[in-house]
Amino acid sequence: MEIITITADNIDSEHICCAVSDKKDSTGANAKKSWMKDRFQDGLVFRRLDARGKVFIEYIPAEKAWYPILADGYMHIDCFWVSGQFKGQGYANQLLSQCIEDARSQGMHGLTVLSSSKKKPYLSDPDYLKYKGFLTADTAHPFFELLYLPFTDNAPLPRFKDCARKGTIEETGMVLYYTAQCPYTSQYVPLIAKAAQARGHELTLHPITTTEQAQNAPAPYTTYSFFNNGRLVTHEIFSEKKFEKFLDSLPV
């Protein structure tokens, strides 16, 4: 099957893979598409398999990436996903190769990507990436890794910005930083805000709406960072059920 590129010309008529199975709410997909339209001028590339499935890669020059990293001259992979029946058919290799080719053609130092010490939801698979030659450039609390694939031996070493290393903030209580980069945030953030209010808790929301805000965020995964009493609790998007479970775990 063919790999196609989503552009400003076809984005309104094409699906974006990560929300292809979501039949309940188009709000998130529309918010994601709006976010992408604003990023195309910054060099965003979104490629996917021409099929109804979750097989895609999204990348952008690191200087414009919505991550608190210092990686000038690199191409940053925002999201890289091959799932379900499409695994094991070479699509991951194909998508990664196209990203490498794009970065090389632009004279870049290499690729960067946010991952973790062990495979975790929403983060790129460290085992696959390290098998493909990626190295650990830097780490941040509690498990984040900035991986990089240098094209030359003397490529500069990317790193996290200091603001995102500790996984802590000064605000107390429940605090959520999030962006529209993932279509599920627009769907689930209002639901947990409502659930918190119903249980008598205050949840402070910090939507990240600019590149500058994202690049100075207090945690590496700007798409979704949930803090409680100053410490990072999770980067995984809370469903209503999981959030209720979290609320139940809080001391009375």
Lowest mean pLDDT among 11-25, 146-160, 229-243: 11-25
Q: 238 Cβ partners below 8 Å, 6+ apart?
A: 188, 192, 226, 246
Mean pLDDT of 211-232: 98
Q: What was the pLDDT predicted at 54? A: 86
Q: Is 60 exceeded by the pLDDT of residue 4?
A: yes
Neighbour tally for 78: CB within 10 Å? 21
Q: What is the pLDDT of residues 96-122, one digit of tens each?
A: 999 999 999 999 999 999 999 999 999
User: 3-class secondary structure for the chain?
Assistant: CCEEEECCCCCCCCCCHHHCCCCCCCHHHHHHHHHHHHHHCCCCEEEEECCCCCEEEEEEEHHHCCCCEECCCEEEEEEEEECHHHCCCCHHHHHHHHHHHHHHHCCCCEEEEEEECCCCCCCCCHHHHHHCCCEEEEEECCCEEEEEEECCCCCCCCEECHHHCCCECCCCCEEEEECCCCHHHHHHHHHHHHHHHHCCCCEEEEECCCHHHHHCCCCCCCCEEEEECCEEEECCCCCHHHHHHHHHHCCC
Q: Is 90 exceeded by the pLDDT of residue 46?
A: yes
Mean pLDDT of 123-132: 96
Q: Which residue has the tokens 């059920």?
A: 241
Q: What is the pLDDT of residues 169-185, one digit of tens each?
A: 999 999 999 999 998 89
Closest CA to 46 of 2, 80, 87: 80
Q: What is the pLDDT of residues 16-30, one digit of tens each?
A: 866 555 555 577 888
Q: What was the pLDDT predicted at 33? A: 94
Q: What was the pLDDT predicted at 19? A: 55
Q: What is the pLDDT of residues 48-103, one digit of tens each?
A: 999 877 899 999 999 999 999 999 999 999 999 998 788 888 999 999 999 999 99
Mean pLDDT of 163-173: 97
Q: What was the pLDDT predicted at 119? A: 94
Q: What was the pLDDT predicted at 23? A: 53
Q: What was the pLDDT predicted at 189? A: 96
Q: What was the pLDDT predicted at 223? A: 96
Q: Is 90 exceeded by the pLDDT of residue 44?
A: yes
Closest CA to 76 of 203, 199, 181: 181
Query: What does pTM read for this prediction?
Result: 0.94
Q: Do the Cβ atoms of 5 and 46 come closer than 8 Å?
A: yes
Q: What was the pLDDT predicted at 24? A: 55
If pLDDT is split at 50, 70 and 90, which confidence band does 166 have?
very high
Q: Is 90 exceeded by the pLDDT of residue 161?
A: yes
Q: What was the pLDDT predicted at 29? A: 86
Q: What was the pLDDT predicted at 18? A: 67
Q: What was the pLDDT predicted at 88? A: 84
